Structure 1
Amino acid sequence: MPGLRDIVGIGLCASMMLALAPHARAITLDDARTAVDAILMQSGITATERDARAVDGNAVVLTFDGVSLDLQGYSTARELKMDDVKVTVRDTDHRDQIDLDVKLPERAEMDAEATSDKRALTMRNTGGYLRWNTAKNIPVTFDGFADFLIGEEPITRQYWMMNGLIIQWLPELARIAWQGAEWTGPNREKRGSVKSANFTLYPGENGETHLDYAHDGLWLPSLFQPRTVRIKSSSQGLPWQDAKPIIEKGFHDILTGTAPRFARRQIGDALWQKAAENGAPVKVDEFYVESRGLEALGSGEFLAQTAARYGFTGEFDFRLLGQDKLVDLLGTPDSPTLLGALLPFAVNGLAVGRPGPQGTTEYDGKLLPDGRVVVNGMTVFRTADGR
């Protein structure tokens, strides 16, 4: 039976390959401690070891209390504190690499000098998997997760919460995503929420850097709510080999206590600087925005320039569905509404649209070095100094 012989032969070959393949070695308590201590020191984390034991024949579990991490990028000094942090350390099939499985406790706190800056933290099923290069003392990959996060201020009880958080940092991918978020002001007054969001950076087939962003279900207490936004962009002038170290540093900063908003700004500024140095355009291959019956679909191409008023020059085009709703809201140049009078550039830009297919209105625009925005040949916005 040739078919049976083939199957048996394949099985024998697979068995031999598995037998000859290198296997992860059992790690010792001292090696595990040395590796974790190096990671803690590099990350600026202090902790006290409470327990250490070997498990499963090839792993070590270290338990820490008094874990403390200074938080950066906030208006005042703050510190993250927690107990009962478990780190499982295993050796790998790769020389000078170990795997760490980090499990965080369900309760923690953000400590600060001012009571209003303190936060009580709830972290349900939160942790991550880290592969670490012990020779270079750098991370190789990271997968972080949290089923549920909430931070609550003790006096006014304003809070933020997030569900289904994922943070991935791989050799060819960087990603932050979540499935639901909400934030409030004092007395739990709702200030905003979003059903899902996804931010991904990765290389293309020719080594260019791609950035994809999307969110759905955004709610804000304002007249204009971009409830759904999707952006796909790329830049051959920003090769992945240039972008990768910038992104890695940004993700490392986030994971070691830098405020996410501050870290994102640092990543964006560094990527912009590199794009400006390389002098090649950033292409917005597609963007889509939906808000209360309004839809816009378009594309663009922008060039990072240090001499440009807003850092970029470029061109864009889009089709708008629902122009009549915006006219009702903003009015026309001859008869603006109260809101339109406050936003004359929006009224003027809306008015110069030309009819497009399937009931849409078409717009072609330019962002000029001096900050002017020209839409369908008409300057609809200029800077405060009149240029």
Structure 2
Amino acid sequence: MRVRHALLGFGICAISLVALHTRAQAITVEKARNAIDAILMQSGIAATETDARLIDGDAVTLTYDGISLDLRGYSTARELLMDGVNVTVRDTDNPDHIDLDIKLPERARMDAEAASDRRELTLRNAGGYLRWDIARNAPMTFDGFADFLIGEEPITRKHWMMNGLILQWLPELARIAWQGAEWTGPNREKMGSIKSASFTLYPGEAGETHLDYAHDGLWLPSLFQPRTVRVKSSSTGLPWSDAKPIIEKGFHDILTGTAPRLARRQIGDALWQKAAHNGAPVKVDEFYVESRGLEALGAGEFIAQAAARYGFAGEFDFKLLGQDKLVDLLGTPDSPTLLGALLPFAVNGLAAGRPGPQGTTEYDGQLLPDGRVVVNGMTVFRTADGS
């Protein structure tokens, strides 16, 4: 019984010591402020702290006004401005890591010299969760979201809108997705919309990099509308260990003011350079395209090559359902329509198909290093210099 009491007393003392140690390491306003200041400086963000509060002894909430972030990659100099950003900071089990819960205001604006480049921004339930490494002063993971985003130009009355935005990078996942988007021309003339889209990068069982892309419900003011597209691809020549730092840098660039279009191009270029250096193929395990009664399903394998005219050379094959509809649109090599006369390579490629199962038409193709496209043994496209 005495031994039991002694063990119980020792356990109570140990728990008390752990509790005291945890309390001693609890987040403070000064620690939270210093961490956020370092993040703002590293990210090139100017801000003025207007409030700081300790919450229940285990978290600190800081409020910032006068947020200013230079935006890069646009045709003219632009700046993102907002007030009322709340950041709640918490300690983690690792003393070098902190967690940040970021809440953005409902209104913001993009400022620029030209009035036509300015935007009024509306954000609903927008923010994110960020784990930050204090020792390295670098992000570890990020999970961002917005129920609703809209940007409006005051002069032309153009606007873009996006619902259900998700932006994530985790140790083994990078993802951008949204549910519903629309963009317009002057005076809100509808120029395009899409029901959903998703772009995901992740490692495979052997450490290779996988890229999945899908969109549904794309509408464009054009004759050809790839309403549904799904692509699954992978590359053993581009291991996740090589791809991950490139992707993380790209996501960080987007969050710190780089135009998404420019950041995507930079990510793509860096991944291509790695793949070209390693020399292993990029496999398109499956692609599917649907458009107004047309369906295509296929696969391919390509090698990134610096000497290749379009950066890649490889082979592909697919089955097309609805060839007759394309013939009505483009015509034949002997009798092209007006559109077909403008796109002779499409007419020639369409005519090169051979009958396949269940009413499909089959195509086996090659993209050659000199830029030629060969379909079922026939060259259907060559570059302007004749190669």
Of residues 104-113 and 50-59 in structure 1, the stretch that sits farther from structure 2 once superposed is 50-59
Residues 1:93 and 2:93 are matched in the alignment:
yes
Equivalent position of 1:235 in the other structure: 235
1:94 Cα deviation after fit: 1.6
Equivalent position of 1:175 in the other structure: 175
Residues 1:383 and 2:383 are matched in the alignment:
yes
Equivalent position of 1:4 in the other structure: none
1:20 Cα deviation after fit: 8.1
What is the distance in 1 between the residues matched to 2:138 and 2:83? 25
Q: How does 1:13-24 map to 2 (within 5 A)?
A: none
What is the distance in 1 between the residues matched to 2:292 and 2:161? 25
What is the distance in 2 between the residues matched to 1:349 and 1:61? 61
Aligned length: 371
In the alignment, structure 2 segments of 5+ residues that lack a partner are 1-13
Equivalent position of 2:150 in the other structure: 150
Equivalent position of 2:265 in the other structure: 265
Equivalent position of 1:285 in the other structure: 285
3-state SS, counterpart of residue 125 of structure 2: strand
Equivalent position of 2:337 in the other structure: 337
What is the distance in 2 between the residues matched to 1:372 and 1:61? 60
- TM, length-normalised to structure 1: 0.94
Equivalent position of 1:196 in the other structure: 196
1:31 Cα deviation after fit: 0.2
What is the distance in 2 between the residues matched to 1:152 and 1:310? 36
3-state SS, counterpart of residue 162 of structure 1: strand
Equivalent position of 2:5 in the other structure: none
Residues 1:134 and 2:134 are matched in the alignment:
yes
Equivalent position of 2:82 in the other structure: 82
Residues 1:326 and 2:347 are matched in the alignment:
no
Equivalent position of 2:49 in the other structure: 49
Equivalent position of 1:364 in the other structure: 364
What is the distance in 2 between the residues matched to 1:319 and 1:23? 63
What is the distance in 1 between the residues matched to 2:298 and 2:312? 18
What is the distance in 2 between the residues matched to 1:152 and 1:203? 38
Contact 1:214/1:230 (<8 A) preserved: yes
Contact 1:23/1:92 (<8 A) preserved: no
What is the distance in 2 between the residues matched to 1:95 and 1:379? 63
What is the distance in 2 between the residues matched to 1:116 and 1:316? 44
Contact 1:23/1:93 (<8 A) preserved: no
Amino acid corresponding to residue 258 of structure 1 in structure 2: T
Amino acid corresponding to residue 357 of structure 1 in structure 2: P
- TM, length-normalised to structure 2: 0.94
Equivalent position of 2:210 in the other structure: 210
Amino acid corresponding to residue 327 of structure 1 in structure 2: V
What is the distance in 2 between the residues matched to 1:270 and 1:135? 27
What is the distance in 2 between the residues matched to 1:96 and 1:57? 19
Equivalent position of 2:6 in the other structure: none
3-state SS, counterpart of residue 128 of structure 2: strand
Equivalent position of 2:109 in the other structure: 109
1:93 Cα deviation after fit: 1.0
1:26 Cα deviation after fit: 2.1
What is the distance in 2 between the residues matched to 1:180 and 1:254? 20
3-state SS, counterpart of residue 369 of structure 1: coil
Amino acid corresponding to residue 381 of structure 2 in structure 1: F
1:95 Cα deviation after fit: 2.4
What is the distance in 1 between the residues matched to 2:56 and 2:346? 65
Residues 1:159 and 2:186 are matched in the alignment:
no
1:57 Cα deviation after fit: 1.8
- Across the aligned residues of Structure 1 and Structure 2, the Cα RMSD in angstroms comes to 1.5
Equivalent position of 1:274 in the other structure: 274
What is the distance in 2 between the residues matched to 1:29 and 1:366? 62
What is the distance in 1 between the residues matched to 2:57 and 2:180? 40
1:56 Cα deviation after fit: 2.1
3-state SS, counterpart of residue 195 of structure 1: strand
* Residues 243-299 of structure 1: CA deviation (Å, up to 9, x unaligned): 011000000000111000000000000000010000010000000000000000000
Report percent identity of matched pairs: 84
Contact 1:119/1:152 (<8 A) preserved: yes
* Residues 195-241 of structure 1: CA deviation (Å, up to 9, x unaligned): 00000000000000000000000000000000000000000000000
What is the distance in 2 between the residues matched to 1:63 and 1:211? 38
C-alpha change, 1:23 and 1:218, in structure 2 (3 Å) is farther
3-state SS, counterpart of residue 346 of structure 1: helix
